[in-house]
Amino acid sequence: MRYLDEYRDPRLARMLLDRLRRVATRPWRLMEVCGGQTHTIVRQGIDELLPAGIRMIHGPGCPVCVTSLETLDRAMAIAARPGTILTSFGDMLRVPGSHTDLLTLRARGCDVRVVYSPMDAVALAQRHPDRQVVFLAVGFETTAPANAMAVLHAADLGLANFSLLVSHVLVPPAMTALLDSPDCQVQAFLAAGHVCAVMGWTQYEPLAARHRVPIVVTGFEPLDLLEGILMAVTQLEQGRYEVENQYARAVRRDGNTAAQDAIRRVFRIADRAWRGVGTIPAGGLVLAAEYAAFDAERRFDVGDLTAREHSECIAGAVLTGTREPTDCTAYGTICTPRNPLGAPMVSSEGTCAAYFAAGRTRAAAVPGIVQ
């Protein structure tokens, strides 16, 4: 069953929920990987409508949330340098570092600018040859191709005043780290459709086989997610552990090979620190040696900066799905979207922000969740 036009038809939603109630015979725990999926699930109340015992665990798939505290502090150290223009997507400006955020630095006179593409930052470097222009390159596999193309374009132009502060993270290693954890409760995954549109899903096949977990690639509309949940629970009930593609209108098995080629040219896989989670082996990307001249961390010598999270923030436990936002003593009190302690409260894809926007106050108030 695939829905091409009516992604929010309540009749189809009821039909999928009825089928799910008939299929599910026991409790199951599923994790949606992407923060965009989390927001749809929470905003539409999908987790509240599921049969008793079917629990959605919210995963670490918010790129803003998992950008390490050290990376943010490095970005702010660079932004404070005279003669520097620090560029970023807008959702990074209010993410708290150790002591402040980029928006506050801009208010104090630092040249911090919002751009809509890394190519905008390249154009800035062309227009301001006397300034160093840095783009804060964060995100999963979805944003890596555009950042790779920006580096390639800057190299073709011979720009010596453009660089990236790289904090790219990769989804499959994070899923592996979660499954290898002794505290893991996840029995199936909903994989992020936009990541798979770039990378395909072949990387997930050995993961599903090794850990005996179904993985269903889904979109972001309510019916996409309901169908993905139904497909995952059906696999669990039948004892199957395969990768299936619910998001067939956008995702192919091999993904976008041209985008993958750009990533391979510019980046190399390396260990990467995830905010609140720790260092994940082979968990991210760094610039290849051939493009080291575009590495802002080296250019500005900020690689040795370290940082510590706020003592009351449990963002790491929220990101790995072991705790709910409403388990946090700071949630909704000293931590709100106006005054966030951690990235999951400020990001448009953060789980804490999704709960707050939906008015979630107590875990016990969410029916169908097994505590």
β-strands 267-274, 278-287 pairing: antiparallel
Q: Which of 148, 142, 152, 143 is nearest to 200 (CA)?
A: 142
Query: What's the pLDDT score for residue 364?
Result: 43
Contact predicate 195/164, CB 8 Å: no
Mean model confidence pLDDT for the chain = 90
Give 307's pLDDT tier (boundaries 50, 70, 90).
low
Residue 85's DSSP bridge partners are: 133
**113: enclosing H helix or E strand:** strand 112-114
Range with lowest mean pLDDT among 120-129, 248-257, 352-361: 352-361
Query: What's the pLDDT score for residue 343?
Result: 75
pTM beyond 0.75: yes
Query: What's the pLDDT score for residue 305?
Result: 65
Contact predicate 341/69, CB 8 Å: no
Residue 78, C-beta contacts closer than 8 angstroms, at least 6 positions apart: 84, 86, 134, 165, 296, 300, 302
User: Tens digit of pLDDT for each residue in 73-123?
Assistant: 999 999 999 999 999 999 899 888 888 899 999 999 999 999 999 999 999
State residue 197 phi and psi, 5-degree precision: -60, -30
**Is 83 buried (19+), middle (13-18) or exposed (0-12) by CB count in 10 A?**
exposed
Domains, the chain, in order of start with CATH, read 1-311 (3.40.50.11740), 315-357 (no CATH)
Q: Percentages helix, strand, coil for the chain, rounded to the nearest 5?
A: 45, 20, 35
pLDDT higher than threshold 80 for residue 3? no
Rounded Cα gap, residues 317 and 314, in angstroms: 5
Range with lowest mean pLDDT among 171-180, 209-218, 226-235, 356-365: 356-365
Q: Which of 74-83, 270-279, 315-324 has the highest mean pLDDT?
A: 74-83
Query: What's the pLDDT score for residue 350?
Result: 84
User: Tens digit of pLDDT for each residue in 138-171?
Assistant: 999 999 999 999 999 999 999 999 999 999 999 9
3-state secondary structure of 272: strand
* DSSP characters over 185-203: ---EEEEEHHHHHHH-STT
pLDDT higher than threshold 60 for residue 69? yes
Residue 28's DSSP bridge partners are: 54
